Amino acid sequence: MTLDTVKLAQENPNTPQPYKELGLKDDEYERIKNILGRRPTSSELAMYSVMWSEHCSYKSSKIHLKQFGEKAPKSDALLVGIGENAGVVDIGQGYAVTFKVESHNHPSYIEPYQGAATGVGGIVRDILTMGARPIAVMDPLRFGKADAPDTRRVLPGVVAGIGGYGNCLGLPNIGGEIVFDETYAGNPLVNALCVGVMRHEDIKLAKAHGVGNLVVLFGAKTGGDGIGGVSVLASETFNDEKPTKRPSVQVGDPFAEKVLIECCLEIFKADLVVGIQDLGGAGLSCATSELASAGSGGMNIQLEKVPLRDPSLSPEEILMSESQERMCAIVEPAKINQFLKICKKWDVTVTVIGEVAEGNRLNITWNDELIVDVPPRTVAHEGPVYNRPIAKPNYLDNLKPVSAKLPANNEELKRDFLELISSPNIADKSWVTSQYDKYVQGNTVLSYPEDSGVVRIDEKTNLGVSISTDANARWSYLDPYEGAKLALAESCRNIATTGAKPLAVTNCLNFGSPEDPGVMWQFAESVRGLADGCLELGLPVTGGNVSFYNQTGDVAIQPTPVIGVLGVIQDVSKRTQMGFTKPNHEVYLIGKSDENLSGSEWAHLHGEIGNQAPKANLEMESKLVKLLLDGQEIFESAHDLSNGGLAASLTESILKNTIGAQISLSNPALELFVETPGRIIVAIDPKNADQLQALSNKYQIPITKLGTTGGYSLKINDLEISIEELNKAFTETFPKLFG
């Protein structure tokens, strides 16, 4: 096969090129030719196609995402914001924490195990490139109906992939979500979050500065797995039978990644890199163009020097490969020997493949033949930007209030209660979480099923961080603006119930096709809601991910903006857990309930969604966070009321430590199942009742005494459900579904 060089491209301008097959539109191809003043070489075409894909370029979302900068609140904690591999925040005592959530949805549908595993690997490397030691992961997951055959194919593989990769890395999995809904059939959402810690002075950035500095590729050798991978696949919808494009899914090696992590951390400690970038989506195309673009602009690469595990790969394939466990660093010549020495110590393959150059061109050669000559910014940061048509979807005009009849007597109430807590969205997820190592490294303080995961940062002072992820897609379906705000508020509540102060936000925005005006309206409203919500709560968005094309044929998933919030807790030994701890404590509801069942799990179980999402009251939510932090010392337990309402929260609080409760409700049929946001149940020693009332008065948030803890059952007025019945309903669902 003839090598397609820049010289050949100039001499043969009319050579047909498969740009459509690579996902480029006619006008995008013409734009590339205008940028270069000629047709692209096949290698340049490969680079532009992956970097201008939806997944890498954010071409449909950029104009909306800029709100996170325009509406950004002032934050003394923010050290590195949007634009780097991950955001970084100051948590005090000289420590900085970096965290981010990303998607690996489409590869996980094709190959569940490897798709999910490499999703974990990719987000871990994003955290590593900031100079941080990864300390924990979380996984918000969504699948089709729990009893659907395809869910039984996808879910076990995804769970095994997350557990297999994360456990081998020695990273605790401290939480996440598992949600089932028929709209995710064929489009599972596999989002992965990682958090890492460093000292302030150790922060690294993805920039290629300093003419003459060396471009060093290290880690695993490059193979044919993942060519076009997530970058192309995530810009395509699935039809009813199969993906329209089916490139190989990346194959991960967690043991290689574990070694790479330790190698990188030793390199960072010795201060041997000017800039660093992982090779994830779009592989070497991304790493070289982004490093050059963010730095001085010029870079020369000798592509034949890239170590290959498949020697048959063409230059185009090498540039597009998304093989895992690879990093690209910028190193000063005076430090290269020490860099090579550390890589040798860890038995990590390392090769100098180029250098930072004068000018503003990224030049790539293959055996001295020039095959790429491009301005790197046009590849990495100046791709197409689309202002897609937006239209409010018609379905919103046809929504109806929840019409299902609430239970009329104790028999019906008990039936609905047990049905709700045994539903896959509410039931115990231990079948999944038991496959994850939650306590490796020995710093996990709280993990699933707690409201948020908590990790100790400093063993001497007990400084720690709390992380939560949340999204109620039904509320976003009804009102995406309010849905995003509500997800943000819920994550903040989850953080605060443990005793942590919310500090910063990451997000993974999962939607259908951006070419659908209705989907773009959902997306635009979600971004507007999240930006407004973060501004009101004073929380900066540090980064995140957009995942489009999550749909089968014309059926899009419910809009699912997954919002991650990180908080700081000064002393993890004083954290508050969700489960009742002792008998004879008083149980209180903090917050006010309404009568709207729209978007609730109870309505979902009755085949309805309703017509009106709740309105987020962020002023009240902010006061609630302050109340929780102010009163932390008096709360024996605290648990957010969210999916499943009071019924789910009481069940979880009781079963955590097998301590029953006696509860009085004026309208149990409604109060047990409504999911009004901004509510917490707490248990306190009776002697602290006056203190709780004082907090209620101070923050003007109502409290209601529900009852007391103790016994071996849940008593609701004159209805009694034994702990054995609760436990059976709550714990048997997943083993029955998945074996």
381 is a catalytic site residue: no
209 is a catalytic site residue: no
Cα–Cα distance for residue pair 662/543, rounded to 1 Å: 44
With a CB cutoff of 8 Å and minimum separation 6, the contacts of 334 are none
Cα–Cα distance for residue pair 32/14, rounded to 1 Å: 14
Contact 496, 539 (CB under 8 A): no
Helix (H) or strand (E) holding 56: helix 54-57
| Backbone φ, ψ for residue 572 (5° rounding) | -65, -20
Cα–Cα distance for residue pair 611/526, rounded to 1 Å: 18
DSSP designation for 585: -
Cα–Cα distance for residue pair 624/632, rounded to 1 Å: 12
Cα–Cα distance for residue pair 705/109, rounded to 1 Å: 47
Buried b (16+ CB within 10 A) or exposed e, 524-555: bbbbbbbbbbbbbbebbbbbbbbbbbbbbeee
Out of 104, 106, 585, 604, pick the active-site residue: 104
Whether omega for the bond prior to residue 449 falls within 30 degrees of 0, making it cis, is yes
Instruction: Determine the 3-state secondary structure of 556 from DSSP.
Output: strand
Contact 283, 214 (CB under 8 A): no
Contact 361, 375 (CB under 8 A): yes
Handedness of CA 469, 472, 476, 482 (dihedral sign): negative
| Backbone φ, ψ for residue 255 (5° rounding) | -70, -35
Tokens matching residue 536: 């009101």
Instruction: Determine the 3-state secondary structure of 444 from DSSP.
Output: strand
DSSP designation for 535: H
Residue type, 154: V
Residues carrying an active site annotation: 55, 104
